[in-house]
């Protein structure tokens, strides 16, 4: 029973993010509402937001982050290598540490996918 509910929640989150992306150009406010709803669903179902979607949402103002549009992505080498994503609508910064591991981390795999798709 419980896992079925979580499965439904995952599907809804995915749908909401798809919708958020499609309406972003015409109605950024609506897309923020979709993101907020998706995050609420994740919290209610007690499942982590998928990493891919986590990187696309500002946790401060729920804006859908579109690279080159409303967020700044920078690599910093201070202390340890990390990526900084700055939300340009509220100025909130998200740090993602880049850990060097034998096994590729999820972020690295995502990045690899992004590079190959371009």
List residues near Zn ion by CB under 5 A.
58, 60-61, 63, 87, 90, 92
Question: Which helix or strand (DSSP H or E) is residue 86 part of?
Answer: strand 82-87
CB of 60 to Zn ion, least distance (A): 4
Which CB, 35 or 42, lies closer to Zn ion?
35
Cα gap 33→15, rounded to integer Å: 13
CB of 85 to Zn ion, least distance (A): 10
Beta bridge partners of 73: 85
Q: Are 11 and 47 in contact (CB under 8 A)?
A: no
Which CB, 13 or 58, lies closer to Zn ion?
58
CB of 87 to Zn ion, least distance (A): 3
In DSSP notation, 88-100 reads: TTT--EEEEE---
Which CB, 42 or 65, lies closer to Zn ion?
65
Which CB, 9 or 55, lies closer to Zn ion?
55
CB of 111 to Zn ion, least distance (A): 22
3 state SS of 103 = coil
């Amino acid at each position: 029973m419980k896992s079925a509910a979580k499965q439904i929640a995952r599907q809804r989150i995915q749908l909401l993010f798809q919708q958020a992306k499609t309406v972003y150009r015409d109605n950024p406010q609506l897309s923020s509402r979709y993101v907020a709803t998706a995050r609420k669903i994740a919290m209610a179902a007690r499942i982590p937001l998928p990493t891919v979607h986590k990187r696309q949402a500002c946790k401060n103002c729920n804006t859908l982050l579109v690279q080159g549009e409303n967020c700044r992505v920078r690599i910093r080498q201070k202390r340890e290598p990390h990526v900084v994503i700055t939300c340009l609508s509220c100025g909130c910064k998200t740090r993602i540490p880049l850990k060097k591991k034998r096994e590729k981390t999820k972020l690295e795999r995502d990045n690899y996918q992004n590079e190959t798709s371009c």
